[in-house]
Structure formats: C-alpha cells, structure tokens
Chains A and B, each alone.
Chain A
C-alpha cells in the first residue's frame, strides 16, 4: 500500500499518465483508512475508541515529524512544543476572543509555523545535532512560558473550550469526533505523500544521499529544509488544535518532553521517510502506551505515572538496533517474499549489452547564452590557503564559450581545489570567479548551478537511494519550477512526466537505457561515472565542469565519452575538464592549463603546452636547467 507498488517504467507512459496509475497506493490506502474510521465507532469499546481517537490526533504531528526526519534529515525533539502552541493558541482564540472555530484553528496553526520559521531561520543552517537540542530547549521554553503567563492560565491551563459544530451538529462524542478528524488526517496524509514524491521531496532525499551533488544541481538545501521544518510544525499544531477540541482542556503537559518522545517513537516505529508508517506508528504507540499502563502496575505494584516510558525506551532502542527502517522496511521485505510480488529484473542484465559503436544516437540539449569565443568563465587571482599551505596560488584564466579547456597537473597540484572554488563547494581565500558576468565565487553551489554551471565529481557522488533514471532526473531540477506548495497539492505530474521523459532521452544518448531502472548503487563504477555525466547534462548547462571523467572507464567507454564531449562542444557547450589521461586531454582540448603546486605554470593550445619546459619539469620532477639540458640532448640525438 506504499510507493513500492509504483510502476517500474513510468517514463514509457505518456506525460499525462492516468490518475489511477499514479496514485493507486494512496487511493487504496486512504480508502481503507476511511472505511475503518467509518466503522469503528459502531463496533469499538469506549476504551478502544479513546485509543483510536488519540492515535488520529497524534498521527498529524507524527506525519509532520516524519517529513522533517525523512526529507530534511533533521530531528526535532520539540514537536510537542508546536503541538502545544497550536492547542493553546486555538483555545485562547476560542475562549477569550470568541472567534469561529476554523479561524481559531487557522491562527493556531499559523502561530506554530511562525515560531518554527523564527527558530528555523538561524538553526537550519547548522548541521547535525543542533536542531534536535535547540528544539528540545524550545519545548522547555514553551512549557515555562505557558506556566508563567496569565493569558495561558498558568498551571491550570485553559478549560471550557467549546465543542465544534459541523452543519449544526455538535461534535460531542468520540464517534462524531473521529469522523470530524478523519478527513483532516487523510488530507494531511495525501499532502505529505505528494510532497515526498514531488520535485522538492526528491531533491531533499537527494540531499540526504549527497548534499554536495544536490547543491551542484541547483538545490537550495537550506531553503527547502526550512520550508519542511515550518511545515512539520504546522502539522503538529493541527494535531494540537484537535486535541484542544477533544480534551476541552489545554494544560502545560501538552508541551511535555515525554510527548515529544512519543511522537518521535511513532515516526521511528513506522519507518523514517514513510508517511504511512507515521500513521501506523501513531496507532501502535497508542496501543503500546495503553497496554503498558495496564500491565506495568500489575507487575510492579504501586507503580504510577508515566510507566509507559519503559516500553517507549525499550522499543526505541530495539527498533534502531534491529529494524532501523521500522514497519515500512518490514512490510517491504515481507512483500518482496510473497510469491505474487513482481520481481525486479536481474541487476546484471545490462552488463552484457556491450556495443562497439561509438556514435551518439542523440545529443542532449545544451544552452548557449553567449556566442562562441566570448568569455563565459573568468577566473582572476583565485587563491586558497589552508593555514600556511597554499593549495591554489593566484590563478587567473579566461574560458571562451564553445571550447574545451583541459586542466592538468601532477597529483596535489590543486586541480580539484580549483574546481571546488569555481563550483562554489569551497570559498576562495582571495580572487573571484565570474560566470556569465555574475560573480559566483564564495556563494553556495546552487547559485552557480542556477546560472547554468554543472559539474561531476572525482569521487563519485551518486544518489544511492534512487535508481539510475532517478539520478538523471535530479539533473533536471534546475529546469523545473514546482515548489513545496505545488508539490503537496500534486499539481506537477505534467512537469515531472516531461522531465522523466527527457531523462530517458539522455540515458539513451549514453547507451545506459538498459540500466535505467537499476539501483544506482548497484551499477559498476564506470557506468556510475557515465551516469554522473548524464545527470550533469540533464541540467542543460552552459558550462560543464568534469572532474576526471575518464577515470575508471574502459577503453570503449572512453571513446564514447570523448566523442560525446566533442559533439557537445560542436553544439556550443563549454567544458572544463580535469584529467589524468594527458593523451586524451591533448587530443580533446582546445586549450590546456597546467597547474603545479597551486601555480598556473602554462596555458595555451595543446601543442605549445606539450613543449613548454616548465611543464616537462612538473611532470618529470627535475629542475628547469636539467630539463632544458635533457631536452637539448634529446633534440641533438634527433
């Protein structure tokens, strides 16, 4: 009932694939959930009803936290803080200002999202543990604030929250309440599912595989993560709004740390990144909590209070140790074992499909914003120092459009450092990089990418969590426009279909069509390198930076690559490549630049550079006089 049922070859479908095919999992799952919620009030006992109602309330913050953890790769330990902000704001609007229910609820959700925005603006820039601990702190701040403030009713909280009415029917029992909340949970679920499959969602999961590669394709990681964080707070607040309705009292316990822990547990049990898992997790944790509250006092007489924490702690540890993917992973594993599940094709099917033909069937589109020969990239005085070590020293270069520049030099000469400064992965100590008239040095890689500069990596940066076509598809990120909101509403199927078709075209040009649906990490090294080039080309760049594109390729693959690069140049693309294979560079490049010890020692056409004594020294490792003497000697012999 999850994404696993998606068709394996979407690209062959027309861009407007049928609504049913694209959304089968969501529709079936949503249908089952709605049917269950319709029936439960007629069959369940009152204690069971209680569990189900609270599971549905907490499913909302769990879905939000799941988006944050699965997509943004960040964990919030303060989900209860946003839950409480939603609940309190809603309660205050209803009881003190007598606002209508929907308005009060909207203000409650907006308040939590605003707080998340204010906290997230500075904190989403930091990596690792900081967001987790700052949100943990935020939980305590919210709890202290509501306890100390008269408006929030101090320790007693706010009570007497009026019941909502729908079409004149008061929602005054658990059955009605369940029907009241179910549509909201289903809508939230669909929005979240859409988001994970949208352009933004795919970009974020690419960021989790390789932040550098994703940013080099134009993904603004910070902005996307911030949006997801704000969104997750909104989901939590919506849960708080319903909580205030159902319990009719909002007290400081809604901000408690243990509530944040239980929401986290829901996500972990369900499986990180699985929206359905979060909903299932919400039910499981409610059942687990209720069970523990009954069982523990029987085993330990006199035990009172939050005894269910014993189960929460044990389950948290065990899930991470034994089943890190949670229920989602367990379901997928079981599903694959069922006899009628469609088995994926053998992964090595494409390995045999070797062809001797080096012609390129189709050439991917390139963008040519300036006329051939005009300067497209201007590097001036580029310098990088690490403490006392100068990795790149005062390098100045101009790259004319429509040409190939080869950057060569011995190991450790600073070639990749240069590359990283051009693409924005490193900030130069001094100097500037100007691309198409815009200064791009010192800015994040996505800035350069958005102007049309794409790169590949010496150490491959493959998006391992998706297939080959998924990787190339990410290259299309720059060409897409759909944002988080459009993604959630599912209004981008057309755009996505077009980009997917384009990705297949590009794979075809590099003869990788056979491997399109294979997991990217299962691909042989050489094919991964080709795939990275495809991914970069998918962005339709104006300037392509290739860091050792030939390394690890077979002789035949090298020929295909060289032919492709030549034809791309003819089509008007500008290429800068770092390469160890000097012979290949000399035959491909229009200009060659040589770096040695961070200094640009030669720059010119391949013939001049080949005969430059300084270059000979750099490669042979002797000093200049000796080299000249040797050269003279050689010439005399000749």
Chain B
C-alpha cells in the first residue's frame, strides 16, 4: 500500500519535473514579452522526435540529444525574429493566435517529417534502483536531474547573473531598462532561447518513458501552463513547486482513480486555481501585473 503510494509519488515527481521545465520556459517568455507561448510544448516534441531521427541516422545518443536541443533553441530564436518581433502591437489576443499558428505549423512539419506514430528516444545510460520496494528507473533520475541542473541553473541565472537581472528589469520596468542600456531585442531573443532550450531538454529526457508524438505538445505545454499559473506567471520557484505538485496529483489520479482521467485532473486544477486564486501560489504581491 505504502509502496504503491511512494511508487506513484516518484513517477509523479519525475513527470512533474518535465512540467516544471516547460513552465520555466513559459514564464521566461511571458515576463519579457507578455506572450503566452502556445508552442512551448512543441519545442519538447520537436527535440524528442529530432533526437530519435538523429540516433536512427547513426549519431551517438549524447551527440544527437545535444544537437536536437541546440536546434530547437535556434527554432525558438527564429520564431522570435521571424514572427513575434514583426508584430508591433502584440495584444494578448494576437499573441495567442500567432503562437497557436506556430504551434500548428510545427505540428504539421513533425507529422510530415516523422509520421503519426508516437516514438521514444533510447533510454539514457544508468541503472534502475530498488529502495524499500520502490523501484526508481534511471530515466526518472535523468528527468529530475534535468530539472535540478537546468531549471536550477536558470533560476540562478535570473537571480545572480548580470544578464538575468537585465531580463528581470525588462519585465518589471521596460522603459527604465531601455534607458540604462538593456536592449529589448536582445532580451526578447534571450528569453525565447531559454524557452527553446528548456523545452528541448524537457522533451529529450521525457521521451524514453513518455514518448514523443507530433500532436503531443499542446497537452504537454498546457500542463506547463497550469504550473506557470500556480506560480502566478512571475515566480519560477512557485511554478516549479506547482509543477511537481501537479505531476504527483496526476500520478495519484492515474493510480487510484483511472488512468484515462489523468489529464482531466490538470485542467480541473487549472480552472479551480483560476477561480479561487488567480494570483497563484505566490504569497506576496509583486510589481509585475499579470
């Protein structure tokens, strides 16, 4: 009984790590451009399917993954340069339509390039562990590790580095940021690069277990959005905690209620949070309006 519970918790935390990475990408873009990037989940699928293709072409796994993540980062930058930056007055309505268009386009490209089947990247190297009856797959360590290293790295980057502070300045005081010499163009490109990078990482670490599918990005991105809402769309830390919570709740629903209902849980949580506490899990009010 307890073993089952712990088993589900581990699965939930590893899945939640993936949501957390996507939420980090969503918040990075939102704080700088006030754009909800509906294509965030597609970054993950693109990296997963790209890695599978590169591996099947004979590339070593580690190289294939790095190339895929890098390529997705470039796709995100291209998206910013070619599409997002071209619209002068980007209202929430337009930004949704535009990123939805990009999301649809990326899905169609993946469908045409790699077909309609769900596929997985080969498992990453490592050994599975059995602790007190709870088995933890090595891939789940990779997923949680990716969150700790990449997600933690991004949080540190934002809070400690000069560039990270500049990005936050752009979000909170865009005019002042421009006056002190922070280029809004560079900040926007950097934000999208971060979104592409974390999306790519999330996609490759999750693919061996949860598979990559051309149309799977919307659902995954929306889970990231639920986590970002829990973080009030401004706080990385609250969003990461929210994402882990979401992953665990989903695992319990799948384990104790029914696996078909697992995805429904996320959206019930979303609607509940929006109704009860739209500012998310953030405790103190912040300067950034959502």
Tell me whether A and B are bound partners: yes
A interface residues with partner B (beta carbon < 8 Å): 69, 73-75, 77, 119, 122-123, 126-130, 132-134, 136-138, 140-141, 144-145, 147-148, 257-258, 261, 264, 268, 272, 296, 300, 302-307, 309-317, 320-321, 324
| Complex-state Cα separation, A122 to B36, whole angstroms | 20
Q: Are B101 and A320 in contact (CB-based, < 8 A)?
A: yes
Q: Can you give 16 contacting A-B residue pairs, CB < 8 Å?
A: A69-B93, A133-B222, A133-B270, A137-B222, A137-B266, A137-B271, A140-B263, A141-B264, A141-B267, A261-B104, A300-B112, A306-B108, A309-B105, A309-B111, A317-B101, A317-B102
For the complex, count residues of B whose C-beta is within 8 A of A: 46
Chain A contacts of B202 at CB under 8 A?
Answer: none
With contacts A129-B36, A148-B260, A317-B102 known, is A307 near B111, CB below 8 A?
A: yes
- The answer to whether B87 and A321 touch across the interface, beta carbons within 8 angstroms, is yes
Cα of A148 to Cα of B258 in the assembled complex, Å: 9
| Contact present for B225 and A133 (CB under 8 Å) | yes
Q: How far is the CA of A316 from the CA of B105 in the complex (A)?
A: 9
In the bound complex, residues from chain A placing their C-beta under 8 Å from that of B109 are 310
A169 to chain B, nearest CB (A): 41
Q: B101 contacts A122, CB within 8 Å?
A: no
Is B218 engaged at the interface, CB distance under 8 Å to the other chain? yes
Q: In the docked arrangement, what's the CA distance between A298 and B274, Å?
A: 46
Q: Find out whether the CB atom of A264 lies under 8 angstroms from the CB atom of B97.
A: yes
Q: Which residues of chain A have C-beta atoms less than 8 A from B139's C-beta? A: none
Shortest Cβ-Cβ A-B pairs, 10 listed: A313-B105, A316-B101, A137-B267, A313-B104, A310-B108, A122-B275, A309-B108, A317-B101, A128-B92, A129-B36
Which residues of the other chain, A, contact B86 by a CB distance below 8 angstroms? 321
- Interface positions, chain B 60-101, Cβ under 8 Å from A, are 83, 86-87, 92-98, 100-101
- Do B96 and A129 have beta carbons less than 8 Å apart? yes
Interchain nearest-CB distance for A360 vs B (Å): 39
A317 to chain B: which residues have CB within 8 Å? 83, 98, 101-102, 105
Bound-complex Cα distance A314 to B107 (A): 11
B274 touches A126 (CB 8 A): yes
Q: Which residue of A lies closest to B92 (CB)?
A: A128
Main SS at interface, chain B: helix
Q: Are A144 and B222 in contact (CB under 8 A)?
A: no
Beta-carbon nearest neighbor of B91 in chain A:
A73
Q: Pick from B104, B268, B274: contact of A316, CB below 8 A.
A: B104
Residues of B in contact with A (beta carbons under 8 Å apart):
36, 83, 86-87, 92-98, 100-109, 111-112, 115-116, 215, 218-219, 222, 225-226, 229, 258, 260-261, 263-264, 266-268, 270-271, 274-275, 278, 290
Q: In the complex, which residues of chain B have a beta carbon less than 8 angstroms from the beta carbon of A73? A: 93
- Report the nearest A residue to B262, measured CB to CB: A144
CB distance from A309 to the nearest CB of B (A): 4
**Whole-angstrom distance between the alpha carbons of A316 and B111 in the complex?**
18
Q: A123 CA to B106 CA in the complex, in Å?
A: 29
Contact B274 A134 (CB under 8 A): yes
What is the bound-complex CA distance between A272 and B229, given in angstroms? 28
Among residues of B, the one whose C-beta sits closest to the C-beta of A324 is B94
Minimum Cβ distance to chain A for residue B116 (Å): 5
Residues of B within 8 A of A320 (CB): 87, 94, 97-98, 101
- Rounded to whole angstroms, the CA-CA distance of A611 and B93 in the bound complex is 55
Asked if B274 and A310 make an inter-chain contact with CB atoms under 8 angstroms apart, the answer reads no
Q: How far is the CA of A389 from the CA of B153 in the complex (A)?
A: 36
**Apart from A126-B278, A144-B260, A313-B104, what are 8 other A-B pairs with CB-CB below 8 Å?**
A130-B229, A130-B278, A133-B225, A137-B267, A140-B264, A148-B258, A313-B107, A316-B97
* Residue picked from B97, B260, B261, B290, most chain A C-beta under 10 Å: B97
Inter-subunit contact B96/A77 (CB<8 Å): yes
- Whether B100 pairs with A261 at a CB distance below 8 angstroms is yes
Contact of B274 among A75, A123, A272 (CB under 8 A): A123
A23–B61 alpha-carbon span in the complex (Å): 67
Does A137 lie within 8 Å of B270, measured CB to CB?
yes
Q: How far is the CA of A438 from the CA of B111 in the complex (A)?
A: 62
One of A69, A264, A272, A310 near B100 (C-beta < 8 A): A264
A305 with B261: CB separation less than 8 A = no
| CA of A610 to CA of B239, assembled, Å | 57
Q: Is A77's CB under 8 angstroms from B108's CB?
A: no
Which residues of the other chain, B, contact A136 by a CB distance below 8 angstroms?
218, 222
Shortest Cβ distance from A25 into chain B, in angstroms?
26
The minimal Cβ–Cβ distance linking B131 to chain A, given in whole angstroms, is 33
* CB-nearest residue of chain A to B103: A313
Question: Within 8 Å CB of A140, what residues of B?
Answer: 219, 222, 263-264, 267
Measured CB to CB, the closest approach of chain A to B38, in angstroms, equals 8
What residues of chain A lie closer than 8 Å to B274, measured between beta carbons? Answer: 122-123, 126, 130, 134
A524 to B266 alpha-carbon distance, docked (Å): 52
Please name all residues of chain A whose beta carbon is closer than 8 Å to the beta carbon of B112 when the two chains form the complex.
Answer: 296, 300, 303, 307, 310
Contacts of A141 in B (CB 8 A): 264, 267-268
